[in-house]
Structure 1
Amino acid sequence: MRVQAFMFYGCALFFLATDVVYWLWSKDWTGTTAMALAVGLAGLIGFYIHFTIRRLEAANGGPLYEDDPEGDIAQAAGELGFFSPHSWWPLFVGLSAAAITLGVVFGWWLVLAGSAAMLMSVIGLVFEYYRGHFSH
């Protein structure tokens, strides 16, 4: 994954060069600020990935299988995580977010109702496996 970090560093450099050229030609502060934020975002993501890789390599005792040129696909086998196959809570979270967004357009009462629904649906999503049939 070290390649991904350097890809984001390259994007940050590209955005920086583009930002300087844009500012010199247009003198537009809005676009220049937006491009500067893109530089910062790409640099931040590259920095995070770079130092996360270093920490994982130190814990692993060597390079990760993604960075091994002699690596095999079978090295990536194993559990990737737990994914809920039957949960309806993400649908309710999405509907609550839609209600909040529509509330900004149609009225603040809908923002309040959507926020209450969002709070309840996020609590339901987080604590889904702590009660009922699927509790641990």
Structure 2
Amino acid sequence: MKPEALLFLGVALFFAASAVIYGWWAGDPTGTAVLVVSFLMAALVTFFLWRQDRRLGTVPQNRGQAEVRETAGRFAFFPPRSYYPVLAAVGTAVLALGVVYGLWLFLIGAGLLAPGVVGFVFQYNDPEP
């Protein structure tokens, strides 16, 4: 997953440089905020791919001389049921309503969304690929 991580690192650096240049040149806080959020999202994907590369090592898809049969077998684990996606969805909805109705509702939504996302991502920390 190292090539994918490097690709998204390039995307993140592009958005970071764009945010700095745009923020200095245009002085528009809205566009700068969008570019900063784009940088953060690309950096999050980069971190995830880097972490997967450290955890799984080199996958056969990234080797030129790999054979198709090397990718056979269990590829990923999918949990049978989880309530974290529901918590993340409710947190996102309340967070979006908080943008409209006020900071207090936004903070409640952030408080619901954070454990939903963290639980959703880390509920099964399966070391076996």
TM-score, length of structure 1 as denominator length: 0.52
Q: Give, as a single letter, the amino acid of the residue that structure 2 aligns with 1:42.
A: A
Over the aligned positions, Cα root-mean-square deviation in angstroms equals 2.7
Equivalenced residues, count: 86
What is the Cα deviation at residue 8 of structure 1? 0.8
The residue type equivalent to 1:74 in the other structure is R
Q: Distance in 2 between matches of 1:27 and 1:12?
A: 21
Query: Partner of 1:68 in structure 2?
Result: 63
Which residue does 1:77 correspond to in 2? 72
Give the AA of the match of 2:56.
Answer: L
Partner of 2:48: 48
SS for the counterpart of 2:56 is helix
Once the 2 structures are TM-superposed, how far is the Cα of residue 23 of structure 1 from its aligned partner?
Answer: 1.2
State the distance in 1 between where 2:22 and 2:68 align: 44
What corresponds to 1:32 in structure 2? 32
Runs ≥4 residues deviating over 4 A: 79-82
Q: Deviation of residue 76 (structure 1)?
A: 1.4
Higher relative contact order (CA 8 A, sep 6+): 2
1:83-94 equivalences under 5 Å are none
> CA-to-partner distance for each residue in 1:71-108, whole Å, 9 max, x for gaps?
112211234667xxxxxxxxxx9xxx9xx9xxx8xxxx
- Cα distance in 2 for residues equivalent to 1:68 and 1:10: 21
Distance of 2:28 and 2:77 partners within structure 1: 46
Q: 1:17 to 1:49 in 2, by over 3 A?
A: same
Alignment map for 1:1-136 (pairs within 5 Å): 1-57=1-57, 63-79=58-74
Which residue of 2 is the match for residue 123 of structure 1?
none
- Shift, 1:42, TM fit: 0.5
Higher CA-based Rg: 1
Residues 46-65 of structure 1: per-residue CA shift (max 9 Å, x gap): 011101211112xxxxx221
Q: Any idea what the Cα deviations from partners look like across 1:32-57, whole Å, max 9, x if unmatched?
A: 01111111110111011101211112
Distance in 1, matches of 2:36 and 2:44, equals 12
Cα distance between partner residues in 2 of 1:27 and 1:76: 50
TM-score of the two chains, using structure 2 as the length reference: 0.54
Identity of aligned residues (%): 32
